[in-house]
């Protein structure tokens, strides 16, 4: 069994309130869940309206599949014009961990 996780640190563009932040972050989380069948949520910086932290997790029996899906998730978030991807933290946990 392999568990892969991603943590995205995002800087939001023209956002001036927490309500506007939600209107940017929620569609990203929903698209990740819909396209890749991963667990995704806003996991940090909820009180800062220009920053967001999104977490993604995936479980599979194939490490290559996990890596491929996480690559595609990263490309999707990086391609969003309304956010700037500041950093990505990736982890892959196997049975030996």
Angle at 70 between CA 35 and CA 81, to 5 degrees: 65
14-70 residue pLDDT tens? 899 999 999 999 999 999 999 999 999 999 888 888 999 999 999 999 999 999 999
**What was the pLDDT predicted at 92?**
95
**What was the pLDDT predicted at 93?**
93
Q: Is 13 a residue whose pLDDT tops 90?
A: no
**What was the pLDDT predicted at 46?**
85
Whole-prediction pTM value?
Answer: 0.90
- Confirm if 66 and 97 have CB atoms less than 8 A apart: no
């Amino acid at each position: 069994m392999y568990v892969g996780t991603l943590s995205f640190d995002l800087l939001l563009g023209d956002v001036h309130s927490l309500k506007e932040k939600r209107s940017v972050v929620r569609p990203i989380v929903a698209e990740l869940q819909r396209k890749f069948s991963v667990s995704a949520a806003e996991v940090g910086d909820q009180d800062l309206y220009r920053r967001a932290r999104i977490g993604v997790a995936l479980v599979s029996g194939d490490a290559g599949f996990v890596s491929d899906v996480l690559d595609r998730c990263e490309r999707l978030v990086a391609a969003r014009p309304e956010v700037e991807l500041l950093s990505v933290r990736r982890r892959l946990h196997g049975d030996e961990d």
